[in-house]
Structure 1
Amino acid sequence: MQLRFAAGHRRARVPRRVTVLAVLVAACGSALALPHADAAAADPDLGPNVQIFDPSTPEEEIQSAVDGVFKDQEKAQFGDARKALLFKPGSYDVDANIGFYTQIVGLGLSPDDTDIKGAVHAEADWFDGNATQNFWRSAENLAVTPTGGADRWAVSQAAPYRRMHLKGDLALDDGGWSSGGLLADTKVDGQVNSGSQQQWLSRNTEWGGWSGSNWNMVFVGAENAPAGDFPKPPYTRVDKTPVAREKPFLYVDDAGEYKVFVPDVRKDSQGTSWSGGAPKGSSLPLSDFFIAKPGASAEQMNTALAVGKHLLVTPGVYHLDRTLKITEPDTVVLGLGLATLIPDNGVTAVSVADVDGVKLAGLLIDAGTKSSPSLMEVGPQDSSAGHADDPTSLHDVFFRVGGAGPGKADKSLVVNSSHVIGDHTWIWRADHGEGVGWNTNTAANGLTVNGDDVTMYGLFVEHYQKHQTVWNGERGRTYFYQNEMPYDPPDQGSWMNGGTQGYAAYKVGDHVKDHEAWGLGSYCFFNVNRDVAAEHAFEVPDTPGVRFHDMVTVSLGGAGTIHHVINTTGGPSDANNNVADLVSYPQ
């Protein structure tokens, strides 16, 4: 994402545990040792890149620490530092400006347990008000009483504002272009103004009101969603969220013990999971987790996973010489501070067995220099089990090929298991940064779904060299899709799907009988060769059970052409007609 043009209940089961501590210690060394009982209320060692704040800490000390992190991270788009700022329950007077690879988190069971009186905001000052590159940061599980009554979260992709309670108004831009984004499980007492945001997903939200629109604004399970229908204004409303699980999170209980809360699956939900009372779910003690700190190896993490441990991956960049293998049902892998996994030697970074209830959250998977067949595989190719009662879920899991340096991967995310829930993913072949070029950061497909009954919320897939998304499973559902086609085909001949110009941004397999999607946008900006064209953005079989709602294609600045929106219907988007809308298919 380089250049933008703005236009106008089942309880989670705990995996089996090995009770002989000696086995763990022998396998992984002292890093797996459990804390002593008399230290239960002490802060755990979460590595060098986590700062934990207590209400008794002097305000000037907290402000200095927060300012220091922002100073280092404001412009560090492709830097190596990863940071997490954790606030224990209580009240704080602090202005927290959040930069790259920084996560600010409240440690209460409810967002209202931790109240920031000041600001928790993201600005685009470093880029002259242009927020289109404000990636890789998050604000989670906090109440904010903003100074002056309003706060700002001016971001684009991979920057969730999740499980927040803002006691005022919220602006989603900084005066320039912006291209986000996600509000999830969040309450805003005042007004949300989307400003220049080109697209946005609001899932399970509550607010006083919403204003603003551009190309594709989607509201799923949102109380008080704005009135109006696509394309004028471009609002897509789905009254209830069919099936979702909120992201697991770290918290401190009343006894001062650190735990991870794992929310239950909710069906047909509207509004937040917490504003009506305590959320439903289960708590896991931190002693059930292997705490990975910078320098931890894939062997150590795999040994812990094999004996039934969960993983808490603290902020850092972790090189993997082998695949992390998740084989136990209900395993939680929770990353803090945009914890980043880089597969070396062409391995797949993470594989998940075809088991119930795995939760993967808060991770950035960054391709290595030797091409991997995939960066993450959820279920092996022969997956056949059903997981409707206890689905696997991915929350704020992001993928990157290039940008921080040369990277290669044939596919980024492959989902073979059934009933998987995707809760906000950005799957990105880099269009700027280091190691970027048509023959440099090579990557064919972003997302491939082979499992049945898979549901995706907030699916962002950009710049891959063939089909961006390939969906082969039955009864797939997507709620919000954002895509940019590759910027850099050198010529039309280099980007042909047989005799068809270009590759679809979202392809449903020819054999699929049942698939439905709401609120989809695909944009082109062929800045290397403006004569390049794509035949269509969405390619689907013509069958009554495959239904698409509220689609838009855009030629950004007229740089290239998308002839049709879906199959041979709708469009074009080109230099003469930048934006093309289509309300439904079949029509």
Structure 2
Amino acid sequence: MRIRSIRPGGGRRAAVRTGVLVATLALLVPASTAAAKHDRGRPADLGPNVVVFDPSMSVAEIQETADEIHARQVDDEMGTNRYALLFLPGTYGTDAEPLQIQVGYYTEVSGLGASPSDVVINGKVEVYNRCLEDGGTANCIALNNFWRSISNLTIDVNGTGQDGCRAGANFWAVSQAVSMRRVQVNGPLTLMDYCTAGPQYASGGYLADSITDDVTNGSQQQWYTRNSEIGSWSNGVWNAVFSGTEGAPDDATFPDPPYTTLDTTPVSREKPYLFVDRKGRYQVRVPAAERDSRGVSWADGQTAGRTIDLREFYVATPRDSVRTLNSQLARGKHLLLTPGVYDVAQSIVIKRPNTVVLGIGHATLTAQRGAVPVKVRDVPGVVVAGLTIDAGAKTSPVLLQVGEKKKHHGHGWGRWFDKARDRAAKKNPTTLSDVYFRIGGPHVGKADLTLEVNSDHVLVDHIWAWRADHGKPGSFGWTASPGRNGVIVNGDHVTATGLFVEHYQEYNLIWNGEHGRTVLFQNELPYDPPNQDAWRHGDTLGYAGYKVADDVRHHELWGGGSYIFTNVDPSLHATQGFEVPERPGVRLHHILTVNLGAGTIDSVVNGVGGPVSNDNTGTPSYVVEYPLP
């Protein structure tokens, strides 16, 4: 997002290594000490930066630990620290002494109950604006509050002891690569920080499988709410999208307000979650896929799906080689990637149907020597969730590939096999949840493409593909960290729910498959083309953010936005934000373009929709339906 000033994270190593904590531990301790004292059926080691809290710990002990981690992470945007704060079932905080947690970069806060009601935070779990200028006192915004998450717990909002402005709501001022899943918020929730001095811009975000009271959207430029229950919703800025959400606002008067509301979600699958059963054993619940779903998955009890004992997972740390991980996958193990940064010099290859690869604490894979970090074979039911995948200094052809490029279409047994595989994939789609991609930012990165989907019936549920517009010096720029395309979909019947793709040098997204569907698309075109000749193809100026191939006959998009801020050369033009074939089976609902202060998009889609330029900065150009009625 547009940043006026940025202080890159220090990248300093954590001074204290954390381990699995037991109830008697008051402070962070070395992992080896914690592992030696594990009890109640806990695994011996969930990684050096996992903290497990027990309700018998004092509020002061938990608060001190959470505050120390937040102090490390609040400005560590481009650093290497990763943390997971996990809460065993119970209640934390009291009416008089609430537990008030602030969540910084690369931090996951999750409950370990079978239901969100099993872990109750009497207090708050919050994110505030980050102040980027004048020693942390000015330019206070949420535009770069990325890479953090909260899940599987209940917040009884309690602002006791906080200043009067913040006391009345749980603040969640975030942008891309941030998820709130499987959470119940009892009390007001605000998606912006209206208390910190300066502009309170925010540009998130994602809420799923959750129950809230009243929600203040505030300055959130775009937001996606899926399969949830909300008490009320206050407003929208440019693009607020709801699917399968009880209490969602009506969208009949779009774009005033700019709501897009689907009664159900076409295809959904909730993200796997770690929990502790009644015997104290760690399990992973893998929710089942649903079609035309509405409301939370846990309304009538346990979320539908299957439970896998953690002993069936290989619990990995960054010390593990890819050879070790592939060996464990070949043995039929699933993977749990604990917090940290993993250097990946060859592909992690997922060959078996129904394999789960789950990252906690924003586990990060960094490509080495031009590797493709993750390859998923053309099999059904694979779930990849909770990962960030970074490009490295040598160009990778792609960062995550789902299915092979050449699909088998044989005769006889081959054709029967294809049909059987198609039926299995339709019922049990390979799913990507909270998977984020980066080219540049923390370091130089180079990749032709970040995500390639070749298999049919894949579900992409909340991704952010980001070619960096800021970061450590020398880590971003047109030639320093190139990336041609963000996402290419070749498979048929692929569904994307929450698709954020930004700053790629050519088409940010290319959709070649038939019967594709997207619910919420957010895009910024590249900031840094040096001139128009470097950013055009033929007679077309620039590249659209969303491209549907010319031969596609059926495609549908609900709630899409493409923005421009070409600050290197403000004179640049893009012919259109969306480029699609003109036929009845290709339909776009509620789409927009907007100028963020530099550059021009001449039309919204295929010459339809007025231009956005410096003459109307911040004012979207909308197309309600395309083709026009």
- TM superposition score normalised by structure 1: 0.93
> Equivalent residue for 1:20?
none
Contact map agreement 1:489 1:529 (CA 8 A) in 2:
yes
Structure 1 residues 446-498: Cα deviation after superposition (integer angstroms, max 9, x where no partner) = 00000000000010000000000000000000000000000001110110112
Query: Which is bigger in relative contact order (C-alpha 8 A, separation at least 6)?
Result: 1
> Equivalent residue for 2:210?
186
1:212 partner amino acid: N
Q: Name the CA distance, whole Å, in 2 between partners of 1:324 and 1:419.
A: 22
Once the 2 structures are TM-superposed, how far is the Cα of residue 56 of structure 1 from its aligned partner? 1.2
- Residue number among 533, 546, 549 corresponding to 2:573 in the alignment: 533
Contact map agreement 1:92 1:117 (CA 8 A) in 2:
yes
Q: Give matches, 1:326-345, under 5 Å.
A: 326-345=350-369
Once the 2 structures are TM-superposed, how far is the Cα of residue 363 of structure 1 from its aligned partner? 0.1
- Residue number among 385, 398, 404 corresponding to 2:442 in the alignment: 404
1:112 partner amino acid: S
Contact map agreement 2:396 2:447 (CA 8 A) in 1:
yes
Structure 1 residues 257-305: Cα deviation after superposition (integer angstroms, max 9, x where no partner) = 0000000112211111113322111100011101001211111101101
> Equivalent residue for 1:62?
62
Q: Give matches, 1:216-231, under 5 Å.
A: 216-228=239-251, 229-231=253-255
1:585 partner amino acid: Y
Q: Is residue 116 of structure 1 aligned with residue 121 of structure 2? A: yes
Q: Is residue 549 of structure 1 aligned with residue 582 of structure 2? A: no
Once the 2 structures are TM-superposed, how far is the Cα of residue 247 of structure 1 from its aligned partner? 0.2
Q: Name the CA distance, whole Å, in 2 between partners of 1:306 and 1:323.
A: 13
Q: Is residue 262 of structure 1 aligned with residue 267 of structure 2? A: no
Contact map agreement 1:92 1:115 (CA 8 A) in 2:
yes
Once the 2 structures are TM-superposed, how far is the Cα of residue 242 of structure 1 from its aligned partner? 1.5
Q: Name the CA distance, whole Å, in 2 between partners of 1:216 and 1:328.
A: 39
> Equivalent residue for 1:27?
none
Structure 2: tracts of 5 or more residues without a match = 5-34, 94-98, 133-138, 160-167, 195-199, 409-420
Contact map agreement 1:367 1:407 (CA 8 A) in 2:
yes
Q: Name the CA distance, whole Å, in 1 between partners of 2:502 and 2:560.
A: 13
Q: Give matches, 1:196-211, under 5 Å.
A: 196-211=219-234
Mean Cα deviation higher: 572-581 or 344-353: 572-581
Does the residue aligned with 1:388 lie in a helix, a strand or coil?
helix
Q: Is residue 291 of structure 1 aligned with residue 315 of structure 2? A: yes
Q: Is residue 448 of structure 1 aligned with residue 488 of structure 2? A: yes
Contact map agreement 1:370 1:407 (CA 8 A) in 2:
yes
Structure 1 residues 4-32: Cα deviation after superposition (integer angstroms, max 9, x where no partner) = 8xxxxxxxxxxxxxxxxxxxxxxxxxxxx
> Equivalent residue for 2:417?
none
> Equivalent residue for 2:141?
130
Once the 2 structures are TM-superposed, how far is the Cα of residue 409 of structure 1 from its aligned partner? 0.2
Q: Which runs of 4+ in 1 moved over 4 A?
A: none
Q: Is residue 574 of structure 1 aligned with residue 613 of structure 2? A: yes
1:266 partner amino acid: E
1:278 partner amino acid: Q
Does the residue aligned with 1:354 lie in a helix, a strand or coil?
coil
Q: Name the CA distance, whole Å, in 2 between partners of 1:40 and 1:367.
A: 40
Does the residue aligned with 2:65 lie in a helix, a strand or coil?
helix
Q: Name the CA distance, whole Å, in 1 between partners of 2:379 and 2:578.
A: 32
Q: Name the CA distance, whole Å, in 2 between partners of 1:352 and 1:99.
A: 31
Contact map agreement 1:211 1:226 (CA 8 A) in 2:
no
Q: Name the CA distance, whole Å, in 2 between partners of 1:115 and 1:333.
A: 27
Once the 2 structures are TM-superposed, how far is the Cα of residue 392 of structure 1 from its aligned partner? 0.2
- Residue number among 450, 472, 480 corresponding to 2:520 in the alignment: 480
> Equivalent residue for 1:156?
175
Contact map agreement 2:336 2:360 (CA 8 A) in 1:
yes
Q: Name the CA distance, whole Å, in 2 between partners of 1:276 and 1:560.
A: 50
Q: Give matches, 1:509-520, under 5 Å.
A: 509-520=549-560
Contact map agreement 2:77 2:105 (CA 8 A) in 1:
yes
Once the 2 structures are TM-superposed, how far is the Cα of residue 60 of structure 1 from its aligned partner? 1.5
Q: Give matches, 1:62-81, under 5 Å.
A: 62-81=62-81
Q: CA RMSD in A?
A: 1.5
Q: Give matches, 1:363-382, under 5 Å.
A: 363-382=387-406
Q: Give matches, 1:413-492, under 5 Å.
A: 413-434=451-472, 435-492=475-532
- Residue number among 545, 558, 562 corresponding to 2:601 in the alignment: 562
Q: Name the CA distance, whole Å, in 2 between partners of 1:236 and 1:44.
A: 47
Once the 2 structures are TM-superposed, how far is the Cα of residue 341 of structure 1 from its aligned partner? 0.1
Once the 2 structures are TM-superposed, how far is the Cα of residue 125 of structure 1 from its aligned partner? 4.1
Q: Give matches, 1:486-505, under 5 Å.
A: 486-505=526-545
Structure 1 residues 348-369: Cα deviation after superposition (integer angstroms, max 9, x where no partner) = 0000000010000000001000
Q: Name the CA distance, whole Å, in 1 between partners of 2:372 and 2:250.
A: 45
Q: Name the CA distance, whole Å, in 2 between partners of 1:376 and 1:116.
A: 36
2:368 partner amino acid: D
Q: Is residue 141 of structure 1 aligned with residue 165 of structure 2? A: no
Contact map agreement 1:82 1:102 (CA 8 A) in 2:
yes
1:165 partner amino acid: Q
Q: Name the CA distance, whole Å, in 1 between partners of 2:386 and 2:568.
A: 34
Once the 2 structures are TM-superposed, how far is the Cα of residue 40 of structure 1 from its aligned partner? 7.3
Once the 2 structures are TM-superposed, how far is the Cα of residue 566 of structure 1 from its aligned partner? 0.5
Structure 1 residues 481-519: Cα deviation after superposition (integer angstroms, max 9, x where no partner) = 000000001110110112210011010011100000000
> Equivalent residue for 1:167?
186
1:395 partner amino acid: S
Does the residue aligned with 1:85 lie in a helix, a strand or coil?
strand
Does the residue aligned with 2:292 lie in a helix, a strand or coil?
strand
Does the residue aligned with 1:444 lie in a helix, a strand or coil?
strand
Q: Name the CA distance, whole Å, in 1 between partners of 2:468 and 2:459.
A: 25
Once the 2 structures are TM-superposed, how far is the Cα of residue 39 of structure 1 from its aligned partner? 7.2
Contact map agreement 1:186 1:204 (CA 8 A) in 2:
yes
Structure 1 residues 26-52: Cα deviation after superposition (integer angstroms, max 9, x where no partner) = xxxxxxxxx9xx977134410110000
Q: Name the CA distance, whole Å, in 1 between partners of 2:317 and 2:578.
A: 42
Q: How has the CA–CA distance of structure 1 residues 291 and 226 changed in structure 2, closer, same or farther, with 3 Å as cutoff?
A: same
Q: Name the CA distance, whole Å, in 2 between partners of 1:59 and 1:105.
A: 17
Contact map agreement 1:470 1:509 (CA 8 A) in 2:
yes
Structure 1: tracts of 5 or more residues without a match = 5-34
Q: Name the CA distance, whole Å, in 1 between partners of 2:44 and 2:248.
A: 41
2:592 partner amino acid: V
- TM superposition score normalised by structure 2: 0.87
Contact map agreement 1:74 1:126 (CA 8 A) in 2:
no
Q: Name the CA distance, whole Å, in 2 between partners of 1:79 and 1:549.
A: 39
Q: Name the CA distance, whole Å, in 1 between partners of 2:521 and 2:244.
A: 16
> Equivalent residue for 2:12?
none
> Equivalent residue for 2:407?
383
Contact map agreement 1:573 1:580 (CA 8 A) in 2:
yes
